[in-house]
Amino acid sequence: MTTSLTEVASSNATLRAFLHGLPGVDRVGADQRAATLGTRSIKTTAKAKAIDLAISMVDLTTLEGADTPGKVRAMCAKAVRPDPADGTVPSVAAVCVYPDMVPHAVAAVRGSGVAVASVATGFPSGRTSLGVKVEDTALAVASGADEIDMVIDRGAFLAGDYRKVYEEIVAVKAACAREGGTDAHLKVILETGELVTYDNVRRASWLAMIAGADFIKTSTGKVAPAATPPVTLVMLEAVRDFRAQTGRMVGVKPAGGIRTTKDAIKNIVLVNETAGPDWLTPEWFRLGASSLLNDLLMQRQKLTTGHYAGPDYFTLD
């Protein structure tokens, strides 16, 4: 963080002045640009590459009260080897689970290169004390999570208590530290569907990055609208501008409602045209999704063989 951004975070008043001093988002312009980029067509060879890139960027997710160790293990097997009959299909980037499922996921993906992400901090609402949020994070990290997906306190943000949101992110980031090992990466979920305006999405993005987020993520998947293209566009602009100002790169993860290959490719075009090609790797861009992978696999097979596999070919997401 540059000295000036350290000063920005020193009080709620300085944070407020900075965040409200950011240029406003032209809502019509953002909607239009996202829509235009979404209609870009891609040639067949580029499409095949884009599908494999999208598969490698997926955070394959299950976040249900009814999740079981068996369901998590099956999802992990699919994450490591999405199509058991075709070894050329890349693994996904990560699996994403609740904290109590982390040990099962860690055991299931061991040695594969697939990371384990855990939601934490009273996901999805975040309506609990800071102590509980930190404990929740520490549990997931101690269980072996490589990545933590935290939620911000949207109530505090909307009430203008930016310093509270900042302090929580800083505390959760500290709980991601692992003695004698690599710290867990912190993804900060803004829950953009509750932030009301694109200006707030831009402000929350900057707030999270100033507080130390490694990634900013749109949504929990539990609130609609979730990862809409204009919201992702605004967040991609924020990471681009943050790097220009500080030299630090922050990743972006749209999540929630991304179900089709078309959606995934739209996102890849958005990244390329907004933040730029440096972000076009799983290190800097993820697609959080529970049921996108099968469509990517079906479209991939169609491109390779000229026909779709039967409906029973791929295991259920």
Q: Is 71 one of the catalytic residues? A: no
Q: Is 302 one of the catalytic residues? A: no
- Work out how close the CB of 56 gets to ligand G3H at its nearest, in angstroms, rounded to a whole number: 17
Q: How many CB atoms lie within 10 A of CB 271?
A: 26
Coil/strand/helix, residue 242 = helix
299: its two tokens: 């479209």
H/E stretch holding 237: helix 229-246
- Work out how close the CB of 157 gets to ligand G3H at its nearest, in angstroms, rounded to a whole number: 19
CB-based contacts of 15, cutoff 8 Å, min separation 6: 8, 9, 162, 163, 166, 207, 210
From the list 59, 149, 153, 295, the catalytic residue is 149
Q: Which residue is nearest to ligand G3H (CB)?
A: 221
- Work out how close the CB of 264 gets to ligand G3H at its nearest, in angstroms, rounded to a whole number: 11
Q: CA of 215: how far to CAs of 175, 180, 189, in Å? A: 16, 23, 9
- Work out how close the CB of 205 gets to ligand G3H at its nearest, in angstroms, rounded to a whole number: 17
Which positions lie near ligand G3H, rule CB under 6 A? 61, 63, 96, 220-221, 255-258, 288-291
Can you say how many angstroms the Cα of residue 7 is from the centroid of all Cα atoms in its chain? Answer: 28
Closer of 9 and 282 to ligand G3H (Cβ): 282
Closer of 37 and 94 to ligand G3H (Cβ): 94
Q: Is 173 one of the catalytic residues? A: no
Which residues are marked as active site? 149, 217, 253
